[in-house]
Amino acid sequence: MARRLVLLLLPVLLSSATGDAAEPVDVPNGEFRSGDVVALGREARVEGVLRGTLVTILGDVRISGRVEEDVVALGGNVHLEPGATVGGDLLALGGEVHAGGPGPAPVGGRLLTVGALEAAFAAELKTSPLALRPVRGLFLAFRLALLLGWLIVGLVLLRLVPRPLTGAAGLVPGRLTAVAAIGAAAVLAALLVSALLLVVLPATAGLFAAGLLVVALALAKAFGIAAVFVALGRRLTRTAARGSLLFGDPAALAVGLALLGSVSLVPVVGPLAWSIASLLGIGTALAAAARPRAAAF
């Protein structure tokens, strides 16, 4: 939920900065435009020839002319009208590709689309689990596999970096609001910086740099949410006797994950709870990284 809110706010913020974000990016018929084109929060139309790469974020793509290099659509649909050609690869993440003419899509390179299952995995790597829908069938199995993956990641981190992880877990109690605010600010900052990089850098370099930011957030989430699991599990197992099955941080991690994982399967409430936990995780990781350099948190 938090991620979707940020994504909805991003075009508004960019609109206030540019003043014309609502207007589509247009390469009219008969025009030959060199270089890459990036459209943020608006539609892109290519009726002429674009001698570069086309990237759209939260906007549809309509092509009736030619894009000589790649087309990347993040959060929008791609409409290939009769006469359209794409010289390179076409990647649609979170949208669909509609080819108006007969036969295969007129794409010279690879046609890559991310469907519902892959989109759920991509969302998990960012800040929320499955979409706001009842979880059943294959999605339930996939979600349970992801939760098992989180358990493995958490146990590996406890094995490799026990002191940093348990120290980060100690930051969570009593600081929920501050840590969540840090996480939300980090996600928003990463989105705005990614948008800036896509504007000022060539499309390929901008996508690579934005991808590095996503990876950094994913790593921060992996470390931080494991600390959140431990903190929650500690509270639930604080009365466990030494030597019992529920004693120790590995058991606390498993208990905390089991609770949050069970909640995440509940429609509507689950994705919101997991999104908040994810923001807490990112904020916890950043707070833990800054703690040695500061006298107090």
Q: How confident is the model at residue 137 (pLDDT cuts 50, 70, 90)?
A: low
1 has a pLDDT exceeding 50: no
Weakest-pLDDT range from 67-71, 92-96, 110-114, 279-283: 110-114
18 has a pLDDT exceeding 70: no
Instruction: State the DSSP H helix or E strand holding residue 33, giving kind and residue range, or none if neither.
Output: strand 32-34
Span 221-268, pLDDT tens digits: 999 999 999 999 998 888 888 888 888 889 999 999 999 888 877 877
220 has a pLDDT exceeding 50: yes
Please tell me the distance from the alpha carbon of residue 224 to that of residue 287, in angstroms, as a whole number: 9
What pLDDT, on the 0 to 100 scale, is given for residue 285?
92
Let me know: does 143 contact 130? Beta carbons within 8 Å: yes
**Crossing angle for the helix pair 249-264 and 137-160, to the nearest 10 degrees:** 160
CA atoms within 13 A on the CB side of 9: 12
Q: Output the six-digit token pair for 145.
A: 């596999």
**The pairing of beta strand 61-63 with beta strand 111-114:** unpaired
Question: Which sign does the torsion angle of CA 121, 125, 128, 129 carry?
Answer: positive
Q: Output the six-digit token pair for 13.
A: 């913020």
What's the rounded mean pLDDT across residues 206-219? 83
Q: Output the six-digit token pair for 34.
A: 């060199």
What pLDDT, on the 0 to 100 scale, is given for residue 165?
92
**The pairing of beta strand 66-67 with beta strand 54-57:** unpaired
Q: Output the six-digit token pair for 61.
A: 């793509």
Please tell me the distance from the alpha carbon of residue 149 to that of residue 123, in angstroms, as a whole number: 15
What pLDDT, on the 0 to 100 scale, is given for residue 155?
92
Average pLDDT of the chain?
Answer: 78
Q: How confident is the model at residue 140 (pLDDT cuts 50, 70, 90)?
A: low
Percent of the chain clearing pLDDT 70 (strictly above): 78
47 has a pLDDT exceeding 90: yes
Helix (H, G, I), strand (E, B), or coil: what is residue 40?
strand
Query: Edge-to-edge, what's the strand order for the sheet holding 37-40?
Result: 37-40, 54-57, 71-74, 90-93, 111-114
Residues 6+ apart with CB under 8 A from 67: 46, 50, 52, 53, 54, 85, 86, 87, 88
* pTM score, whole prediction: 0.61
Q: How confident is the model at residue 15 (pLDDT cuts 50, 70, 90)?
A: very low
Residues 251-289: b if buried by 16+ CB within 10 A, e if exposed? bbbbbbbbebbeebbeeeebbbbbbbbbbbbbbbbbbbe
Partnered with residue 91 across adjacent β-strands are 72, 112
What pLDDT, on the 0 to 100 scale, is given for residue 246?
84
End-to-end CA distance of the chain: 27
How many C-beta atoms surround the C-beta of residue 110 within 10 A?
A: 10
